[in-house]
Structure 1
Amino acid sequence: MNFFRMIKMDFKRMFLSGKFYFAIADAMLVTVLNISQEAMQSRWNASVYYLVVSSHGVGAFFEVFSVLAVLPFALSYWEDSRNGYLRCIETRIGRTAYCWSHLVVAFFGSVISIFLGMAVVYGVLALKIPWIKKEELETLTGSLSYGNGLVLPFYLAARFGVEAVKYAFMAVFALMISGKIKNLFVLVSTPALFYYASQLVAEALQLPGQMRWYQLHGGSIRNFKDFFVIAGYFLILTGMEGVIFVRVVKRRAQNG
């Protein structure tokens, strides 16, 4: 019962916070920068589908920059510890309920902000350019069909969703680290450091593809089943982060 009370309070705080809307605006900015080169080269004669598909392979800058959109959620525990809110709420709700509630809100807050940021940009573009061209439709129907026919909005939503859960996973990683590290500069740097460190470790140890989470993105979807597999993959990893986060916070409280 305490968990549901806490999560209701946390979601209310999130939607009333300007940081949530900043995160959406940042996701929109990153999306525009991501597709601007392709859009200008095509003289805005491209389709929404083409711009979505070509939005990858533009460099790690956008991977790092996009993380800025989820930092407001990742730093929530650090802020509560600093302003004394944590001590007040823990006595009424409980430490475990507080931790899991913060994790859920950090994850879904990140998902919502990234998804909406991308959806708004492409939705506005759809007012000016076609969703998909006939020649592109022929290449798409070969591998992506839904029911008896193609449903393009579902496909685009699935691509946006994969991007969103990936960055949400990184946000929860920063939240987990915030239970141990108090330095704000280090905390802000952790998502980018984690991203690059994962690549270095995977290459050094020759880890299999299943352990290279950073390679997954919207373009990894070949059919609609892939969305659920990838989303489930990140949900499992996020759950593992949550277990660690709860233990770190409890140990920190015991040590004073």
Structure 2
Amino acid sequence: MSFCRMLMSDFRRMFQSWNFWLSVLAVALVSLIGSFPLIRVQSSGVSLFRLVTYRLSNSFFLIMTAVVALPFGLSYREDYRNNYRFCIMGRTNLSVYCWSHVVVTASGAFFSVLMGYALGYGLMGTCMPMILESELEALRLSSREVYSSLLLGPAPVTYFICVFSTEAAGYAFLSVFALLMSVSISNSFIILTMPAVLFYGSYVVCSALNLPGIVRWYHILESGGWLSRNIDDIHILMPCIFLYFGSLICLEGLLFMQMAERRQMNG
């Protein structure tokens, strides 16, 4: 089986799985629940822009890291348990199997976050403005941030698209990390907590060693981090963010293939 056919088969499995659609609904639900405290406090003066800014500081990140790993992050463990991996190995090779799973896992996380945010914030957008006039005026006077400046342009919705896409790319990286860990960990709960462990572990290490901003991927996931501070053109920034997380995902893919090969040799 060629890589393209394997990829199509894995995408079909993902879209036919309830886990993918439950993940989309869970992201939307997390968005709605996470916004309620601010909506309750500022019931008459809240905008989508304020809610999107607020979500970066709430405690729902832990839930999100587990939710985005659902579509395909547990696929290797399920394939191994159901003997699907051994059946498919007669029709393709391990390299094709591994890279197909990496691509589909990353894509599944990316699209589930985008679709979930679109659903959640789209519903909230039916009963509140995109941005308040006072917030718009404040941005005109003081905004130097590449994302926020999009709200001053002819298509303010691009702000939400770019912010959500940045975060979705980061969650795709975390989802592939869950896939990587599933090679050596059999407990589903532990696998789904691994992205959160990586997040907080990276934060502690980077802070302790005072590592440069380009290494602090968790800030890039949240708001562009070091990249957004050094690139002021959104048309350059977004490809750089995708390239950044794409490179990290490729490194995870190499590790995933090596670990899968080692497990295959060890039986």
Residues 145-196 of structure 1 show CA distances to partners (whole Å, capped at 9, x for unaligned) of 56x9332111111101111111111110111111222333432221121111
| 1:56 lines up with 2:68 in the alignment | no
Change (3 A) 1:122 1:223: farther
Structure 2 unaligned segments of length 5 or more: list them.
none
Aligned position for 2:217: 213
Question: Residue 30 of structure 2 contacts residue 60 of structure 2 at CA under 8 Å; is this kept in 1?
Answer: yes
1:140: how far off?
3.9
Report the alpha carbon displacement of residue 138 of structure 1 after superposing the two structures with TM.
3.4
Deviates further, 226-235 or 64-73: 226-235
Aligned CA RMSD, in angstroms, stands at 2.0
Instruction: Assess if the C-alpha contact under 8 Å between 1:44 and 1:129 holds in 2.
Output: no
33 and 243 in structure 1: CA distance in 2 versus 1, 3 angstrom threshold: same
Counterpart residue number, 2:80: 81
Aligned counterpart, 2:159: 155
Which stretch has the larger CA shift, 3-12 or 45-54?
Answer: 45-54
How big is each residue's C-alpha offset from its partner over 1:76-122, in whole Å with a ceiling of 9 and x where there is no partner? 11100000111011210221111111111100100111111111111
Contact 2:66-2:195 within 8 A present in 1 as well: no
Correspondence for 1:191: 195
Aligned partner of 2:173 among 145, 169, 175:
169
Give the Å deviation of 1:26. Answer: 1.1
Shift of 1:71: 2.2
Alignment of 1:47-126 (within 5 A): 47-58=47-58, 61-72=59-70, 73-126=72-125
Letter in 2 for 1:112: F
In structure 2, what is the Cα distance between the partners aligned to 1:129 and 1:110?
Answer: 28
SS of the residue 2:185 aligns to: coil
Aligned residues: 253
TM-score, scaled to structure 2: 0.88
Structure 2 Cα separation of the partners of residues 52 and 185 of structure 1: 29
The question of whether the paired residues in 2 share the 8 Å contact of 1:2 and 1:94 is answered with: no
Match of 1:226 among 237, 243, 263: 237
Partners of 2:23 and 2:67 within 8 A in 1: yes
Q: Provide, for residues 8-27 of structure 1, a one-character-per-residue CA deviation record: whole Å limited to 9, x for no partner.
A: 01111111110011101111
1:40 counterpart residue number: 40
Deviations 1:21-75 (A, max 9, x none): 11011111211122211111111531212211222212xx311110121222211
Q: 1:54 to 1:98 in 2, by over 3 A?
A: same
| TM-score, length of structure 1 as denominator length | 0.91
**Is 1:235–2:239 an aligned residue pair?**
no
